[in-house]
Amino acid sequence: MHRFLTFLIITLSLSTTQVYGQDVNTLLIEFEQVSQSQQVDIANKIMSVYSKTEITDKPYKFAASTPSDSLKKHVWYWSTEYYYAAQDFPRTIEMGKKALQLWRGGEMEADCLNLLAMACFRQSQFKDAIAYARQCYALDERSGDPDVMSSSLNTLAGIYLGANQPREAEKYILKAIDLAKKVDNPARMSVLQGKASEVYHALADDQKALEHINKACAIEKQLGRDDMLMVRNAQKASVLIGLEKYKEAEALLKQVIPFMRKVDDKLSLGIACNKMGKALLAQKREKEAIPYYREAAQIFVASGDIANEMHSRRGLYEALWHSNPDSAKLELDRFDLLKDSLYSNANAETLARYNAEFGIDELQHENEHRKQLTIYIVIGAIALAILMALVVWWFMRRRMRVREEALQATINALRSEKAENTPAASTELNEQDHQLLQQVVASVMKAVENGNVSIEAIATDVCLSRSQLNRRIKAITGVTTQQYVNRIRLEQARELLMEHPELQVSEVAYKCGFDDVASFSRAFRRTFGKSPSQHRNGDK
């Protein structure tokens, strides 16, 4: 598993989760209620959905003799991954707890703990999030891998920072940076420097925060990762606001916000809009700040992100107060509701810090619109539920396209130079990661020639377990091993179609390890936007 703490929040709030016409929630309920023999059939249906949505690292097909505990281990773990990808955090926690019980002491224990930590954090369940993250770190510490350990420490730092305990976060992020210096992983170091900047910004040491974020920006420029540079620029805007350089912050955010809309990164967009609102308020431009705060609030309502929505509501209260006091009071009521929810999820020390940060004492007073706000919230929730079925399908397809573009960029870099069909080094990869990708590509080519492409065989070939291989590949490329292998096969097929016109499409499919020509054609069209025949004929 790739365990950077990205805090990726997607505008998605599901009462039911339907993909390809199948209700996953209903299937999971049936799975727990039927006999063992029936469980196998339902488990295969569930895993088929997860395979189609590219949640699993390989296709799963359980035999009739598969023990019930084995079925549950896989179904519950991949359901945890599924609901986390959909940003349905309550269901993520429910499935994650079940999976963790069966994976204790097993190869997926750390992954279960990591998913639970991030889901609990998004629900503002800070104590549980920290507990799971610490257990995950303890497992990674036993491995002795400084790169993995630094990732877990980054997660812990992020949770403490989210709980408004930056002094605790500082200890973890500094230790993570020290560990990361032992390995050559500039992408990891950029993430850690960005987190350090957030920590020191929270500690009101913006000069030190600026030093860290400038280091992160320099790394991203060196790597040529424009998308990640935008993320770092958003972090830098916060520091500039802290330094009262509001015009500079505004200029950066005017680049960041359109980019986040384009790539559909909802969490980063919401946070950037909150920052823009704050920069505009500081310049006494309240009317311009309002739409940014409203856009951010909509994002955080959909994701259930209490802490960030509080920032939006506080900003709207301040921006509306002089022009529309009634609306401002409605935002104040919403703020109070969020505060009460936060009180139920956090400890007394954390809440005291939130009170100090947001100036709760100044905002606590009665207002006659409380009941009206509740009605608005109920109506809004109903309207959101009606629209959600369409939003789910569109968003998941959009998210898959973004992942496809990222994967294509990685493979293009690896294929830029060749030696005996093995990709040469890319300047964006450290030596260890590059060597692993070389080995995987070589193993896939050999497996295709032998007519048997197996993730287990590839893992054995590179001296890793299947789980370890998947975690490494996902950390390097952002996609699963199965997705990465499939892309290599499809790239090989694309070359064969053009270089060997005497071969039928079916022959190309079989040569590249596809047993089913129809499946090959669907995968080819989904990846490259045209059928194999259209590609060969040069059709657009």
pTM for the structure as a whole: 0.55
DSSP secondary structure code for residue 6 in this structure = -
Rounded average pLDDT over 406-432? 48
C-alpha gyration radius of the chain: 24
Start-end of CATH 1.25.40.10 domains in the chain:
1-143, 225-366
Q: Which residues contact 379 (CB under 8 A, 6 or more apart)?
A: none
Average pLDDT taken over every residue of the chain: 79
Residue 217's pLDDT is: 94
Least confidently predicted of 99-103, 231-235, 384-388, 456-460? 384-388
CA dist., res. 538 & res. 500, Å (int): 14
Tell whether the model's pLDDT for residue 424 goes beyond 50. no
Q: What is the mean pLDDT of residues 392-420?
A: 49
| CA–CA separation, 105 and 287 (whole Å) | 56
- Which run of H or E residues covers position 419? strand 418-419
Residue 8 pLDDT class (50, 70, 90 cuts)? very low
What is the pLDDT, as a whole number, of residue 329?
86
More confident residue, 67 or 382: 67
Residue 245 has pLDDT above 90, yes or no: yes
**What is the pLDDT at residue 342?**
61
Which pLDDT score, from 0 to 100, does residue 385 have?
65
| Residue where the block lists tokens 């999976």 | 99
- 493: nearest Cα among 517, 511, 518: 511
- Integer angstrom CA distances of residue 499 from 214, 489, 494, 496, 503: 47, 15, 9, 5, 9
Q: State how beta strands 422-423 and 22-23 pair.
A: unpaired
What's the mean pLDDT in 30-45? 88
Out of 34-43, 250-259, 367-376, give the one with best mean pLDDT.
250-259
**For position 518, what pLDDT does the model report?**
81
**pLDDT tier at 278, thresholds 50, 70, 90:** very high
Given a cut of 60, whether residue 386 has pLDDT beyond it is yes
Give the DSSP letter of residue 185.
-
CATH number of 1-143: 1.25.40.10
- Start-end ranges of CATH 1.10.10.60 in the chain? 402-537
Question: For the domain 225-366, what is the CATH code?
Answer: 1.25.40.10
Asked if pLDDT for residue 110 goes beyond 80, the answer is: yes
Q: What is the pLDDT of residues 51-105, one digit of tens each?
A: 887 788 778 889 988 999 999 999 999 999 898 888 788 999 999 999 999 999 9
Q: Can you tell me which residue has the tokens 């940003």?
A: 87
CA distance 145 to 270: 34
- Architecture of domain 402-537 in CATH? Orthogonal Bundle (1.10)
- Supply angle C-alpha 100, 106, 111, rounded to 5: 55
Considering only 343-352, 369-378, 451-460, 479-488, which range has the smallest mean pLDDT? Answer: 343-352
351 pLDDT above the threshold of 50? no
pLDDT in tens, 228-243: 899 899 999 999 999 9
With residue 354 as reference, give the H or E element that holds it.
Answer: helix 348-358
The CA distance from 299 to 272, in Å, is: 11
What value does the mean pLDDT take over residues 414-423? 39
* pLDDT at residue 349 tops 50: no
- State residue 395's pLDDT score: 56
User: Using one digit for the tens of pLDDT, what is the confidence trace for 138-197?
Assistant: 998 888 889 889 988 998 998 888 888 899 899 999 999 999 999 888 988 999 999 999
Range of lowest pLDDT (64-78, 103-117, 331-345): 331-345
Q: Write down the pLDDT at residue 206.
A: 93
